[in-house]
Amino acid sequence: MEKIKVLRNLRLSERIYLLELPKKGSLLDIKPGQFLKIKLHDLRYDPLFPRPFTVHSLEEGTLKILYQVVGRGTLALSRISQGEEISVLGPLGRPYPEDLDFPLALCAGGVGVAGFGFFLERLKEELRKKTILYYGAKTSQDLVRLDYFKAFGIEIKLTTEDGTLGEKGFVTDLLERDMRDGKIKTILSCGPMPMLKVVKELSEKYGIKTYLSLETFMACGTGFCKGCVIKKKDGGYFHLCEDGPTLSAWEVIL
């Protein structure tokens, strides 16, 4: 693990934060879709295992992590201040698959949008023009980093469950409309499990190639503990930290 001093830890909404770290050492080699494990040093911050996070952005000398507070580890992380040291392990896992056909749909639920920033930063200009971001959340406050995503010049379709921004409803409703109209050739999706299950069902219904960035509890993150299993459709298990975190929707049982 590499020790790194936090540059900034900004609160973007009630539960969503942006952690900024200096881009150095092994972090320079990371590719979109891979992840890092972050450990807090101070034993006051109880969590034993480092927690996994996708890279949200890697430009201008800064690596950014977009995260939501859901439990002890992320709450402790939200309390870290500028100049404090944390430990980072990575790059881990596999990058996003390369066989993406365009038009490409990036379908994000909540903070699942995190990894798509880094993906778009590395995507060629002409392919960005054929990429649509479907980004949904419960309420407008949880749709974060909109100016950053708009700056890529991509088409963005927003939804909120309470109708406070974008179309009212689920992001998968908008996605299905465009799938039905034949506007999409590949889907890359990340978000809460109920949303990913719907995306998987839609991909099977419309026969559109789909990849899901999945999450499990990850104790080691490096292939030893075998605790990060996802069932394979044809028997056996994927180990998400090594085989994923992004897997074909057609090869997994959720």
Ligand X SMILES: Cc1cc2nc3c(=O)[nH]c(=O)nc-3n(C[C@H](O)[C@H](O)[C@H](O)COP(=O)(O)OP(=O)(O)OC[C@H]3O[C@@H](n4cnc5c(N)ncnc54)[C@H](O)[C@@H]3O)c2cc1C
Q: Which two tokens stand for residue 119?
A: 């993906």
Is 18 in contact with 64 (CB distance < 8 Å)?
A: yes
148 labeled binding residue? no
Strands ordered across the beta sheet of 16-22: 8-11, 16-22, 62-68, 57-59
Would you call 161 exposed, middle or buried from its count of C-beta atoms within 10 A (0-12, 13-18, 19+)? Answer: middle
Q: Which stretch binds ligand FES (CB under 6 A): 2-10, 32-40, 59-67, 216-224?
A: 216-224
Question: Given the complex with ligand X, which of 179 and 189 has the nearer CB atom?
Answer: 189
Query: Residue 90 touches which of ligand X, ligand FES, none (CB < 5 to 8 A by kind)?
Result: none
Q: Identify the residue among 225, 248, 251, 254 touching ligand FES (CB under 6 A).
A: 225
Q: Which stretch binds ligand X (CB under 6 A): 20-28, 157-165, 181-189, 215-223?
A: 215-223
Question: Given the complex with ligand FES, which of 35 and 118 has the nearer CB atom?
Answer: 35
Instruction: Please list every residue from 8 through 27 that binds ligand FES, using CB under 6 A.
Output: none
Q: Is 96 in the site for ligand X (CB under 6 A)?
A: no
Q: Is 53 in the site for ligand X (CB under 6 A)?
A: yes
Strand 131-137 and strand 155-160: the pairing is parallel
Q: Identify the residue among 47, 95, 97, 227 touching ligand FES (CB under 6 A).
A: 227
Q: Which two tokens stand for residue 91?
A: 């790059």
Question: Given the complex with ligand FES, which of 101 and 224 has the nearer CB atom?
Answer: 224
Q: Is 235 in the site for ligand X (CB under 6 A)?
A: no
Closest CA relative to residue 251, chosen from 227, 230, 223, 221: 230
Closest CA relative to residue 40, chosen from 7, 79, 95: 79
The Cα–Cα gap between 249 and 241 comes to 17
Q: Is 220 in the site for ligand FES (CB under 6 A)?
A: yes
The Cα–Cα gap between 251 and 231 comes to 9
Residues 6+ apart with CB under 8 A from 141: 13, 14, 164
Least CB distance to ligand X at residue 21 (A): 13
Is 52 in contact with 39 (CB distance < 8 Å)?
A: no
Query: Residue 111 touches which of ligand FES, ligand X, none (CB < 5 to 8 A by kind)?
Result: ligand X
Q: Is 231 in the site for ligand FES (CB under 6 A)?
A: no
Q: Which two tokens stand for residue 110?
A: 């909540």
Which residue ranges make up the site for ligand X (CB under 6 A)?
A: 35, 47, 51-54, 65-68, 70-74, 111, 114, 215-216, 218, 245
Residue numbers of the site for ligand FES (CB under 6 A)? 218-221, 223-228, 239, 241
